[in-house]
Chain A
Amino acid sequence: MNIDLPFIWESLVELLTAIPTTLAITAVSMLCGLAIGTVVALIRMYKVPVLHSVAASYVTFIRGTPMLTHLLLIYFGLPLIVDALSAQFGWPFRSVNIPMITFAYISFSITAGAYLSEVVRSGLQAVDKGQIEAAYSIGMTTRQAISRIVFPQAFAILLPSLSNSTISMLHGSTLVFTVSVVDINAKSQIIASSNWKFFEAYIAAAAIYWGLTILIERLTAIVEKRINIYNRGGVT
């Protein structure tokens, strides 16, 4: 076997420059996805007329199709819509001006939104009904009760799933190579093919993904410890 060990190190150093891109895609998609997912979960839980069935279709469609397909649909579909609108209203804006990474942000946020809506829903449902009743009984509005009492407790419950979803998104974000965004994975492909050292470059990429995954797990553990103070003790 002939492995160029120093080259793994070189690749690793070079790949560091792509970490911000990967992290940005992961973070933006998860944050926007969490926002979308929360709204969708509330719409479905409170059975908001009309929106309720729109939300349900959104979730089943997205969960029933691959993340890569979402990316391709956005990549090819969004420019058509943008250009049509620009032509209609005489805007100077053209779809070629959209940065490539934007397609990743939009499409992955839509993907994450559907999955996270289920995560958020199960978190909200796991909060004891007595909690919101107690909030109502002291005169809170529904909005106050949800934001001050239900959400904080739901968040503690869904933190582990949220962490798993973040890791899935970190790994799934490798799909951006199809729309020419250079993340860690795409960069490792470039390094690999321009030096004809595929195995070494991919080992370096794997090491970085693994490191980032461990980082996410550690951060989760820290947050979990802090917000779960109230679940410890237990004289009851």
Chain B
Amino acid sequence: MIKLTQIKKSYGRHQVLKGIDLTVEKGEVVAILGPSGSGKTTLLRCMNYLERPSEGEITIDGFTVNCKRPSKSDIHSLRKQSAMVFQQYNLFRHKTALENVMEGLVVVQKVPKEQARKRSIELLEKVGLGSKLDAYPSQLSGGQQQRVGIARALALNPKVILFDEPTSSLDPELVGEVLSVIRKIAREGITMIIVTHEMSFAQEVAGHVIFIDDGMIVERGTPNELFNSPKEERTKQFLKRYTPDGVYSI
């Protein structure tokens, strides 16, 4: 379904990704963990070409882009395979919640307006915002904005949704509402890659967990393997730092 081969990315002389190989099956939820600055965001952004990888190959659902010299239309087609939920929400500020969700359907997928509207309302209801259709992002709390962001991503029916620390800009009391929406869609069999620091959440929803450090995949496994019997020293160190006494319960 998704296959990354030797993805490398450098900023000047600083190599941020040092050859990432990753395979994700259809319907799988993969959690990516790793210390700050290890390249998690860069990796996600490379998958939809918000960042241009220096080298490597990206395949999503049979569509392959070689990062050596991709054409504009390759990049565009690759982007249409995925959707992204951003750490800072990035809702279109001049559009209402409903318009945010409809935008991709109408403009990119050319769905007739009425139909797009109906589907968008359904999705906003699904994320619990049926009463906020006409609110602008500035009128919504962070948790509400992020749920609109998730509805916007879902609307496109993408092959995979990429989440970049979807809850780390939120006040603690708003984290739960967003996680429960993600949990709900995880159960529907949508392929997802989630960068997160919410360890118990990762343990609960992910089929596979990947630990990245310094631009490399250090260790991968089932949540049980990775959290309860990590093999690599770096993984152990990291987990010790991030899960003191299980305060990360949801």
Contact = CB atoms under 8 A, between A and B. Distances in A.
A229 B136 contact: yes
A148 interface: yes
A136 B108 CA distance: 10
Interface string B132-157: 00011111111001000000110010
A133 interface: yes
Contact of B92 (A136, A149, A156, A234): A149
Nearest to B95: A230
B52 to A, nearest CB: 12
B201 interface: no
A137 B139 contact: no
A81 B156 CA distance: 55
A230 B139 CA distance: 8
Contacts of A148: 103, 107
Interface residues on B, range: 20 to 34
A230 B76 contact: no
A140 B48 contact: no
Contact of B108 (A138, A149, A230, A234): A138
Given A152-B94, A153-B94, A236-B141, A138 B156 contact: yes
Interface in A151-174: 152-153, 156
B108 A140 contact: yes
B93 to A, nearest CB: 6
A97 interface: no
Interface string A118-139: 0000000000101101111111
Nearest to A138: B104
Contact of A235 (B49, B79, B90, B141): B141
Interface in B101-143: 103-104, 107-109, 135-142
A138 B138 contact: no
B242 interface: no
A141 B76 CA distance: 7
B73 to A, nearest CB: 10
Interface stretch (B8-16, B53-61, B80-88, B218-226): B80-88
Given A230-B136, A230-B138, A234-B139, A138 B88 contact: no
A197 to B, nearest CB: 52
A236 B86 contact: no
Contact of A130 (B83, B88, B103, B138): B88
A226 to B, nearest CB: 12
A19 B108 CA distance: 46
Nearest to A127: B93
B50 A139 contact: no
Contact of A137 (B79, B94, B142, B145): B79
A131 B138 contact: no
A231 B139 CA distance: 9
Interface centre among B79, B83, B93 (most CB of A within 10 A): B93
B138 A231 contact: yes
A49 to B, nearest CB: 16
Interface of A: 128, 130-131, 133-141, 144, 148-149, 152-153, 156, 227, 229-236
Given A230-B94, A236-B141, A236-B145, 9 more contacts: A137-B86, A138-B156, A140-B104, A148-B107, A230-B138, A231-B93, A232-B136, A233-B138, A236-B142
30 contacts: A130-B86, A131-B93, A133-B86, A133-B90, A134-B92, A136-B49, A136-B79, A137-B79, A137-B83, A137-B84, A137-B86, A138-B104, A139-B79, A140-B104, A140-B107, A140-B108, A144-B107, A149-B94, A227-B94, A230-B94, A230-B136, A230-B137, A232-B136, A232-B139, A233-B139, A234-B139, A236-B137, A236-B138, A236-B142, A236-B145
Closest 5 CB pairs of A and B: A233-B139, A138-B104, A130-B90, A134-B90, A137-B84
